[in-house]
Amino acid sequence: MKSPTINVNLVDEVTGSCPLIAASQSTGQERSNILKMLLNAPGIDINQQDKDGHTALIFACIFGDLEVAQLLISAGADVNL
């Protein structure tokens, strides 16, 4: 049985946000696990930008979330976007 394909880069038409950006903005206890799962997903665009040009890394920095920023940078997020 083949497992369903999930688009980990699916974009919200209103905000331009994607699952990685949404996870980087969350505050739940499972945030780190969700981020790690997304970062390991085949085809993830770690530098995907929302409609304002913000990436998950930018949101981690805006919220002062060092843990998320380190996870994203370790996974190859572009610090120059």
pLDDT tens, 5-56? Answer: 788 899 999 989 999 999 998 887 888 889 999 999 999 999 999 999 999 9
Q: What is the DSSP string of 3-46?
A: PPP--TT---TTT---HHHHHHH--STTHHHHHHHHHTSTT--T
* CATH (residue range 19-74): 1.25.40
Sketch the domain layout of the chain as residue ranges: 19-74
Structure tokens at 55: 């990436």
Whether 14 and 52 have beta carbons less than 8 Å apart is answered as no
With a cut of 60, say whether residue 2 has pLDDT above it: no
